[in-house]
Chains A and B, each alone.
Chain A
Amino acid sequence: MIRLREITRVYTVGEQAVHALDGISLHITAGEYVSIMGPSGSGKSTLLHILGLLDRPTRGRYFLDGEDILSLDEATQARTRREKIGFVFQFFHLIPRLTAAENIALPLMLAGVPATERKARVARLLEETALSDRARHRPDQLSGGQQQRVAIARAMVMSPSVLLADEPTGNLDRHSGEEIIHLLERLNASGLTLIVVTHDPTIGRRARRQIQMEDGRIIADNAKEPAS
């Protein structure tokens, strides 16, 4: 479902050109559980941002579900992001003045889903993430683990085909972190493509497919038989 060809991302810092990604080719099939590991500056976050259509590569092509996604205009890319891609961040990124339920409903609101349908879908996700009793709480009234669960519910509310998680446990204690990983894995087990960026090897090693990056290149990928 995801196919990257010779993706290169060059930043210019002052006079110098920095190759954040240097000719990455990658194929990820539906339902995979992939971790991307590497030291900071290895390009793993840049790769995740390009996968999530938040950043554009300098060169290369990106096919999502067979569609040449980089050739689409800004509004269509936004729509693709909304409908096919879910994001989970290290710092949760919940809007502080909205309740848990309202935060979860944000993507539905952006998509123009009617309020009654929104309510039903949010209620279902609150239940799945065991947050039903926290629906009307604001982020500052929730623990870190609860906040990240709200963020995951928000990422899942549009039923995306791929979930991109950027250090999802990086800001949590061990117990909450494990809880979050279990939740993500449960979602993956039900068919969701899960891509986790982390520098924590204990998290990274749980994935069936592990990709190691360094200096903008993939130096290891345990998927021996990359699908054609």
Chain B
Amino acid sequence: MKAGDILAFSQKTLRSHRSRTLLMLLAMAMGVAAVVVLTALGEGARRYITGEFASLGTNLLIVLPGRSETRGVAPGLFMGETPRNLTVGDARALERSSRVRRVAPVIIGSAHASWRQREREVPVLGSTSELLPLRHWKMKQGRFLPPDAAARASPVAVIGANVRRELFGARPAVGEWLRLGERRYRVIGILATEGRSIGLDVEDLVIIPVSSAQALFNTPSLFRILVEARTRDAILPVRNFILDTIQKRHQGEKDITVITQDAVLSTFDRIFQALTLTVAGIAAISLAVAGILIMNVMLVSVTQRMAEIGLLKALGASRRHITLLFLTEALILSFIGACAGLLVGEAGSWLIARAYPALQVTAPPWALLAAFAVALATGLLFGLLPARRAARMDPIAALSRQ
């Protein structure tokens, strides 16, 4: 029997049972569309998150005091050691590498801020002028910290949009004196950037020179040192450079942790990849359901077409012929169903992308391919039982049915 004839015969059969065929196509299409839409959503979320991280600067390294240990207890506890604090001197030392573009020391604290009668608690961030380009922040008004912020405790402050609105209202803030605790700082700029950074809302921040923050919080130690490598490839050498330099400065103690943005990024990437796979797996269940529906309907159809099967055998069809005819029907159904499902899924993804432009909702090619392949495999698998039952049918019993 020629392949074209098998196709033509199966297609004629499917056409003659229009509503049954449409029902099975619908089930298959829904299954495939579900896989496509859900993976598209997962992929969109993944891209959104990794994109957000990338916008923070992927060449970023974060130095924190203390060593993260895989052992349950830090070894220092037994030897009476405490991790040495990071200092502005440490941060300075990190600037001495050609692979390092910028270094920004960071101190974080909280202070009572007031202007005239208005007051509120604000998170205060002490740093240097390098912080602005390093974090890709923008100014809305005025200027950022002066270049000598590391050395001189100048009484100046840059404030976030919320702080400006809540303390100064409609009045101009730049040039005014803001009180933080017992000290006074002249407002020299307002940040335009919104969103979160290092776990803080940028709009709520008050930023002052790092030496001013040391004085304000009465501490020499830093919360973090942010280091930007010149290129992506330089991240690893810079990491080693940081570890070496700090070790030398800390009398041979390896008492810091360096986090690269890359590691955070790839962790999120992995988490979302796993998430996408999970939802795709859940959606694949609907594909299996579609397959079972096809099997059921085809089993009924085998019973209804007993006389025809018997006849085909009498006319000289072998078991292989009958199996092929029924399998081809199942395959045609799953093929057309899968194509329709891909179209519906892509349309759905497009609609979601239109509704939420921030999410880049497009199904990854592997998901399209996998959904298609799984649909065909499901059709084949669940078509097998009815086809074999038809092929094994006793032609006499089949023919005697009227």
Measured CB to CB, the closest approach of chain A to B324, in angstroms, equals 11
**With A93-B307, A97-B16: A52-B314 Cβ-Cβ less than 8 Å:** yes
Contacts of B319 in A (CB 8 A): 74-75, 78
Contacts of B317 in A (CB 8 A): 78, 82, 110
Asked whether any CB of chain B lies closer than 8 Å to the CB of A63, the reply is no
A residues touching B (Cβ–Cβ < 8 Å)? 49, 52, 54-55, 74-75, 78-83, 85, 87, 89, 91, 93, 95-98, 106-107, 109-112, 114, 154, 158
* Dominant secondary structure at the B interface: helix
Contact present for B313 and A54 (CB under 8 Å): yes
Docked CA distance A80–B12 (Å): 27
The residue on B at minimum CB distance from A157 is B315
Contacts of B13 in A (CB 8 A): 97
Contact present for A112 and B2 (CB under 8 Å): yes
Contact present for B316 and A55 (CB under 8 Å): no
Contact present for A82 and B311 (CB under 8 Å): no
- What 1/0 flags go to B295-323 for Cβ under 8 Å of A? 00000000000011011111111111100
Q: How large is the interface on B (under 10, 10 to 19, 20 to 34, 35 or more residues)?
A: 20 to 34
Given contacts A75-B320, A93-B310, 11 further A-B contacts (CB under 8 A): A52-B314, A54-B395, A78-B319, A85-B316, A89-B314, A93-B308, A95-B308, A97-B15, A106-B315, A110-B312, A114-B2
Docked CA distance A112–B2 (Å): 5
Docked CA distance A85–B317 (Å): 12
**With A93-B399, A110-B321: A81-B316 Cβ-Cβ less than 8 Å:** yes
**With A49-B396, A109-B5: A93-B316 Cβ-Cβ less than 8 Å:** no
**With A97-B16, A109-B5, A112-B2: A82-B396 Cβ-Cβ less than 8 Å:** no
Contacts of B395 in A (CB 8 A): 54
The residue on A at minimum CB distance from B319 is A74
Contact present for B316 and A54 (CB under 8 Å): no
Interface residues of B in 203-234 (CB under 8 A from A): none
Measured CB to CB, the closest approach of chain A to B294, in angstroms, equals 20
**With A74-B319, A75-B318, A78-B321: A106-B312 Cβ-Cβ less than 8 Å:** yes
